[in-house]
């Protein structure tokens, strides 16, 4: 990593721990900063805070006292999930204290180039696709996944070598805290309405996403979903070279034409040979193809990687085949839009959907058009009655109730025939029955594996 002196003997407040805050605090301490960590979790339940205290870092836990800002801090490094409306953050803004997120630190110390990926949907899948393609075709160095995908960027950056490349998933929350962050290639998969409780408005959310290209120049490349007018409008204000991708039209970049994927005029592969189904995954693959071609990866390495790509855990993840029935885990689909996208990738006449979860008070009327034609649906959780009504409105012939996602597996198998697909895509958060969507997906997978016994 680069050795920088910027933080030597500077007082820095790290607000919020978890993985990224712990990584940032330890890195700043190693760089000679005078670090104070503030985290809401009590000290006795906070192993990260305990470890940092043992290193000599000042630790304040259990609350967020405003008086902390009476110290003469030069910088705040904020956990991305903490909103700017939080009283301590709000006070820091009023005082003019610079606020960054941990990905900014990662950029400052990284010896290797960075590729940044953001968007409302598809970030993790696209990031993973890019990483796997680059690792299949790079002659020197490795592609290192980092950021919102689960690996703190400031940790990855410390170990990255000059010939490596950091493939970094970035949330809008992280992007609000960058100052000099500068990817050589950036990707925006799409922009829909999301996180308005955090950002306050759609315009502010779009502004946060657009920060990804803030420091890019005419020698950098910006890979954009050209099927969205909102992104076309934003593209008018960048200095970077535009590389569009589209699943619906021919563009000077990556595109789909008559079921085939191209980069400029080069045929790459047939869309129906992708390892994961759905037009949303065609879009993800096109973005990944664009990045791979910009990094001089061969068409053969691109094709082989995307054909064998089985998805990201809990995101339309192929689980396996039992007696000619295919099983897919899309537990990450915690809202209607995500389930709509998953359903678009399958033949409805041979599809059995498993759905349900936490009741947030919404109806499922918007989901009805995507349910039409399904062979069957099995519903569970707090929203089972609402989903059953939506299924009736969609004229699904078979509607069954189950206790939870795992008990729904055997019911779905009993209803299925050879050639059918069984898809868990809940359209709801998991918290009524599971601690998180990962546990829900793992229980589904375990139930599928039990069928094999």
Q: What is the pLDDT of residue 69?
A: 97
Q: What are the Cα distances from residue 278, in Å, to 272, 274, 285, 367, 445?
A: 9, 9, 11, 17, 21
Known binding-site residues for ATP equal: 119-125
Q: What is the pLDDT of residue 194?
A: 79
Q: What's the pTM value of the predicted model, to 2 decimals?
A: 0.88
Q: With bands split at pLDDT 50, 70 and 90, how would you rate the model's confidence at 217?
A: very high
pLDDT in tens, 329-364: 999 999 998 899 999 989 999 999 999 999 989 999
Question: How many Cβ atoms from other residues are within 10 Å of residue 206's Cβ?
Answer: 18
Kindly state the average pLDDT of the residues 63-82: 96
Helix axes 279-294, 336-343, angle to 10 degrees: 90
Q: Are 268 and 262 in contact (CB under 8 A)?
A: yes
Q: Are 320 and 136 in contact (CB under 8 A)?
A: no
Share of the chain above pLDDT 90, in %: 94
Q: With bands split at pLDDT 50, 70 and 90, how would you rate the model's confidence at 452?
A: confident
Helix axes 279-294, 299-308, angle to 10 degrees: 150
Residue 320 pLDDT > 90? yes
Q: What is the pLDDT of residue 222?
A: 98
Q: Are 128 and 145 in contact (CB under 8 A)?
A: yes
Q: What is the pLDDT of residue 195?
A: 82
Give the separation between CA 318 and CA 59, rounded to whole angstroms: 44
Question: How many Cβ atoms from other residues are within 10 Å of residue 16's Cβ?
Answer: 24
Residue 193 pLDDT > 90? no
The values of phi and psi at residue 409, to 5°, are -65, -50
Residue that the structure tokens 């950021």 belong to: 147
Give the separation between CA 397 and CA 399, rounded to whole angstroms: 7
Q: With bands split at pLDDT 50, 70 and 90, how would you rate the model's confidence at 15?
A: very high
Residue 449 pLDDT > 90? yes
Residue that the structure tokens 């729904």 belong to: 408
Kindly state the average pLDDT of the residues 368-390: 98
Order of all β-strands in the sheet with 58-61: 58-61, 34-39, 11-15, 75-78, 99-100
Run of H or E residues at 132: helix 123-137
Q: What is the pLDDT of residue 45?
A: 95
pLDDT in tens, 226-274: 999 999 999 999 999 999 999 999 999 999 999 999 999 999 999 999 9
Q: What is the pLDDT of residue 121?
A: 87
If you average pLDDT over every residue of the chain, what do you get?
96
Q: With bands split at pLDDT 50, 70 and 90, how would you rate the model's confidence at 197?
A: confident
Q: Are 69 and 61 in contact (CB under 8 A)?
A: no
Kindly state the average pLDDT of the residues 21-43: 97
- Which domains are assigned to the chain? 11-100 (3.40.50.720), 103-308 (3.40.1190.10), 317-451 (3.90.190.20)
pLDDT in tens, 412-438: 999 999 999 999 999 999 999 999 999
Known binding-site residues equal: 119-125
Share of the chain above pLDDT 70, in %: 100
Q: What are the Cα distances from residue 20, in Å, to 78, 233, 282, 443?
A: 9, 33, 31, 28
Q: What is the pLDDT of residue 207?
A: 97
Give the separation between CA 230 and CA 194, rounded to whole angstroms: 14
Q: With bands split at pLDDT 50, 70 and 90, how would you rate the model's confidence at 212?
A: very high
Give the separation between CA 399 and CA 299, rounded to whole angstroms: 45
């Amino acid at each position: 990593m680069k050795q920088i002196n910027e933080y030597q003997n500077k007082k820095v407040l790290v607000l919020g721990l978890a993985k990224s805050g712990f990584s940032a605090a330890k890195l700043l301490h190693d760089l000679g900063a005078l670090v104070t960590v503030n985290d809401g979790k009590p000290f006795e339940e906070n192993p990260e805070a305990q470890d940092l205290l043992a290193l000599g870092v000042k630790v304040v836990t259990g609350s967020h006292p405003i008086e902390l800002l009476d110290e003469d801090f030069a910088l705040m490094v904020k956990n991305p999930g903490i909103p700017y409306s939080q009283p301590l953050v709000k006070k820091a803004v009023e005082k003019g204290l610079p606020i960054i997120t941990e990905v900014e630190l990662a950029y400052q110390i990284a010896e290797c180039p960075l590729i940044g990926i953001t968007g409302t949907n598809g970030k993790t899948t696209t990031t993973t696709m890019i990483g796997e393609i680059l690792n299949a075709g790079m002659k020197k160095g490795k592609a290192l996944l980092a950021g919102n995908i689960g690996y703190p960027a400031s940790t990855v950056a410390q170990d990255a070598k000059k010939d490596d490349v950091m493939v970094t998933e970035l949330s809008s929350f992280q992007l609000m805290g960058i100052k000099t962050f500068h990817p050589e290639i950036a990707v925006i998969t799409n922009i829909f309405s999301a996180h308005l409780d955090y950002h306050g408005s759609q315009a502010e959310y779009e502004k946060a996403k657009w920060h990804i290209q803030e420091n890019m120049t005419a020698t950098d490349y910006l890979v954009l979903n050209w099927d969205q007018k909102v992104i076309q409008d934003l593209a008018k204000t960048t200095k970077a070279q535009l590389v569009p991708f589209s699943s619906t039209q021919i563009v000077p970049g990556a595109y789909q034409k008559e079921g085939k994927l191209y980069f400029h005029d080069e045929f790459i592969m047939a869309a129906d040979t992708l390892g994961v189904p759905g037009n949303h995954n065609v879009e993800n693959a096109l973005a990944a193809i664009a990045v791979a071609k910009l990094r001089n990866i061969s068409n053969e390495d691109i094709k082989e990687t995307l054909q064998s790509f089985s998805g990201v855990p809990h995101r339309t993840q192929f689980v396996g085949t039992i007696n000619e029935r295919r099983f897919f885990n899309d537990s990450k689909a915690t809202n209607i839009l995500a389930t709509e996208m998953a359903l678009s990738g399958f033949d409805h006449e041979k599809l059995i959907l498993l759905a349900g979860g936490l009741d947030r008070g919404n109806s499922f009327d918007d989901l009805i058009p995507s349910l039409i034609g399904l062979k069957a649906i099995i519903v569970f959780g707090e929203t089972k009655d609402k989903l059953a009504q939506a299924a009736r409105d969609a004229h699904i012939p078979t509607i069954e109730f189950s206790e939870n996602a795992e008990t729904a597996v055997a019911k779905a198998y009993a209803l299925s025939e050879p050639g059918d697909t069984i898809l868990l895509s809940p359209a709801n958060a998991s918290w009524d029955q599971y601690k998180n969507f990962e546990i829900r997906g793992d229980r589904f997978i375990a139930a599928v594996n039990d069928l094999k016994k």
